[in-house]
Each structure stands twice: as C-alpha cells, then as structure tokens.
Amino acid sequence: MGNDRFEELETKIAFQEDVIQKLDDALASQQQQIMDLQIQLKHVTSQLKTLETQLPDSAEPPPPHY
C-alpha cells in the first residue's frame, strides 16, 4: 500500500472520528432537551389540572342543536 493511500485513509478516519464526536454531542444535547421538555410538560399539565379544579361548574345548559 502506497504512502499516499495510507495518508488518505488516516485523513478519512480522522474526519469520521470528528463527525462521530459531533453526532454524539448533538445526540446528548437533544436527549437533554427532550428530558427538559418532558419536565415542562408535566409541570404545565399539573398547572392545567389545578386550574380546571378551580373553575366553577357551568350550570348553563348546552345550546340547542338545529
């Protein structure tokens, strides 16, 4: 195997390692964002349930359907 071919393979491997690291970083960041959004969703859902229990019951009958 020629020296040029060897250097080309080393370059490709280095590039692939860099891409893999960037993809791993992006995946970790996205996973953290998903976990943060799940926490926010639970909080908003809890607040909505609390607000629903505080609403007065509507004694008004539904409108007639024509």
- Give residue for tokens 């639970």: 42
8 pLDDT more than 90:
yes
What average pLDDT does the segment 7-20 reach? 98
Mean pLDDT of the chain, nearest integer: 92
- Give residue for tokens 């020296």: 3
Cα 53 to its chain centre, rounded Å, is: 30
Give the per-residue pLDDT at 55: 82
30 pLDDT more than 80:
yes
Alpha helix segments (H runs only) across the chain: 3-54
Record the pTM.
0.67
Quickly count: other Cβ atoms within 10 Å of residue 50's Cβ.
9
Choice between 11 and 2, residue whose per-residue pLDDT is larger: 11
CA distances from 17 to 9, 13, 43 (A): 12, 6, 39
